[in-house]
Copies of this chain bind each other. A is one copy, B any other.
Amino acid sequence: MALAFGVISSSATMLTKSSLPSASSSEQSSSATTKPNGADIPNSSTTPATAPAGKVMYMAAGSGIPEIKTILSGFSIPSFLSFPVLAVKAFGAIFAVSTGMCLGKEGPFVHISTCVGYLVGMLFPKYRDNGRKMRELLSAACSSGLSVAFGAPIGGVLFSYEEISTYFPRKVLWRAFLCSLTAAMVLKELNPTGTGKLVLFETNYGTDYKPVHYLAFLLLGVAGGIFGGLFCKLNFLWSKWFRAFTIIKKNPVLEVFLVVLATALLQFPNPLTREPGDIIIKNLLVDCNDNSTSQHSSWVCRNELSDETSWPYIGYLLYGTLAKLVLTIITFGIKVPSGVIIPALDAGAFFGRLIGQLIPSISPGIFAMVGAAAFLAGVSRMTISLAVIMFELTGQLSYVVPHMLAILVAKWVADAISEEGVYDLAQTVLGHPFLDPDVAIQIVRKRKMCAEVLVPPQRTMQEITVLVPGTNKVAYTLLKEKLAKLKERGLMDAGLVLVQCHGDSSIPILQGYISQSELEFGLTRLVPATIPGQSDFQIRLLGHEVDDAPSPDALEVDLTPFVDRTPLSICAKAPLEYVVEMFSKLGLRYLCVTEEGTGRLVGVIIKKRLVGFLEHLREHNEDE
Partner of A566, one of B197, B500, B570: B570
Report the interface size for chain A: residues with CB under 8 A from the other chain. 81
A430 at the interface (CB under 8 A from B): no
B598 touches A502 (CB 8 A): yes
B500 touches A503 (CB 8 A): no
Partner of A30, one of B404, B510, B577: B577
Interface flags, A538-575, vs B, CB<8A=1, else 0: 00001000000000000000000000011111110111
Interface flags, A187-210, vs B, CB<8A=1, else 0: 011000000111100000001000
**Known contacts being A30-B578, A599-B509, is A392 close to B400, with CB within 8 Å?**
yes
Q: Which residues does chain B contribute within 8 Å of A582, judged by CB atoms?
A: 30, 586
B174 touches A411 (CB 8 A): yes
Number of copies: 2
Stretch in A6-14, A151-159, A317-325 touching the partner: A151-159
Identify which of residues 381-406 in chain A touch chain B, using a CB-to-CB cut-off of 8 Å. 383-384, 387-388, 391-392, 395, 397-398, 400-401, 404-405
A441 at the interface (CB under 8 A from B): yes
Q: Which residues does chain B contribute within 8 Å of A188, judged by CB atoms?
A: 401
Q: Which residues does chain B contribute within 8 Å of A354, judged by CB atoms?
A: none
**Known contacts being A384-B158, A510-B599, A586-B582, is A404 close to B177, with CB within 8 Å?**
yes
A169 touches B505 (CB 8 A): no
Q: Which residues does chain B contribute within 8 Å of A505, judged by CB atoms?
A: 502-505, 507
B566 touches A596 (CB 8 A): yes
Interface flags, A478-520, vs B, CB<8A=1, else 0: 0000000000000000000000101111010111000000000
Q: Which residues does chain B contribute within 8 Å of A445, judged by CB atoms?
A: 31, 33-34
The complex places the Cα of A33 from the Cα of B510 at a distance, in Å, of 31
A25 at the interface (CB under 8 A from B): yes
A185 touches B400 (CB 8 A): no
A438 at the interface (CB under 8 A from B): yes
Interface flags, A1-44, vs B, CB<8A=1, else 0: 00000000000000000000000011000110110000000000
A384 touches B196 (CB 8 A): no
The complex places the Cα of A566 from the Cα of B573 at a distance, in Å, of 7
The complex places the Cα of A189 from the Cα of B401 at a distance, in Å, of 11
Partner of A25, one of B158, B401, B573: B573
Interface flags, A144-167, vs B, CB<8A=1, else 0: 000000000110011000100000
A184 at the interface (CB under 8 A from B): yes
Q: Which residues does chain B contribute within 8 Å of A388, judged by CB atoms?
A: 154, 388
B581 touches A586 (CB 8 A): yes
Q: Which residues does chain B contribute within 8 Å of A185, judged by CB atoms?
A: 214, 401, 405
A181 at the interface (CB under 8 A from B): yes
A616 at the interface (CB under 8 A from B): no
A425 at the interface (CB under 8 A from B): no
Partner of A568, one of B387, B441, B570, B585: B570
Q: Which chain B residue has the least Cβ–Cβ distance from A187?
A: B401
**Known contacts being A445-B34, A568-B570, is A438 close to B169, with CB within 8 Å?**
yes
A459 at the interface (CB under 8 A from B): no
Q: Which residues does chain B contribute within 8 Å of A392, judged by CB atoms?
A: 397, 400
A575 touches B181 (CB 8 A): no
A211 at the interface (CB under 8 A from B): yes
The complex places the Cα of A189 from the Cα of B441 at a distance, in Å, of 40
Q: Which residues does chain B contribute within 8 Å of A362, judged by CB atoms?
A: none
A31 touches B568 (CB 8 A): no
**Known contacts being A173-B162, A586-B585, is A154 close to B387, with CB within 8 Å?**
yes
Q: Which chain B residue has the least Cβ–Cβ distance from A580?
A: B31
**Known contacts being A507-B505, A586-B585, is A577 close to B34, with CB within 8 Å?**
yes
Q: How far is the CB of A292 from chain B (nearest CB, A)?
A: 15
Partner of A401, one of B30, B181, B397, B398: B181
A533 at the interface (CB under 8 A from B): no
Q: Which residues does chain B contribute within 8 Å of A586, judged by CB atoms?
A: 578, 581-582, 585-586
B575 touches A565 (CB 8 A): no
A617 at the interface (CB under 8 A from B): no
A266 at the interface (CB under 8 A from B): no
Which of A211, A500, A570, A585 has the most chain B CB within a 10 Å cutoff? A585
Q: Which residues does chain B contribute within 8 Å of A34, judged by CB atoms?
A: 445, 575, 577
B598 touches A408 (CB 8 A): no
Q: How far is the CB of A477 from chain B (nearest CB, A)?
A: 25
A397 touches B408 (CB 8 A): no
A620 at the interface (CB under 8 A from B): no
Q: How far is the CB of A438 from chain B (nearest CB, A)?
A: 6
Partner of A177, one of B30, B196, B384, B502: B384
A198 touches B574 (CB 8 A): no
The complex places the Cα of A185 from the Cα of B400 at a distance, in Å, of 10
Q: Which residues does chain B contribute within 8 Å of A398, judged by CB atoms?
A: 197-199, 395
Q: Which residues does chain B contribute within 8 Å of A467, judged by CB atoms?
A: none
Partner of A400, one of B26, B153, B178, B511: B153
Q: Which residues does chain B contribute within 8 Å of A177, judged by CB atoms?
A: 383-384, 387, 404, 408
Q: How far is the CB of A158 from chain B (nearest CB, A)?
A: 7
A55 at the interface (CB under 8 A from B): no
Q: Which residues does chain B contribute within 8 Å of A405, judged by CB atoms?
A: 181, 185
Identify which of residues 369-388 in chain A touch chain B, using a CB-to-CB cut-off of 8 Å. 383-384, 387-388
State the 8 A-B residue pairs at the shortest beta-carbon distance, nearest first: A566-B574, A599-B599, A566-B571, A31-B577, A585-B585, A181-B404, A505-B505, A30-B581
20 A-B residue pairs with Cβ-Cβ distance under 8 Å, sorted by A, are A30-B585, A154-B387, A154-B400, A158-B158, A169-B437, A177-B387, A178-B408, A181-B408, A185-B401, A395-B398, A500-B597, A502-B597, A503-B505, A505-B507, A509-B597, A509-B598, A510-B599, A565-B596, A566-B574, A586-B586
Besides the known contacts A153-B400, A174-B411, A181-B401, 4 further A-B residue pairs in the complex with CB atoms under 8 A apart:
A31-B578, A154-B387, A177-B408, A397-B397
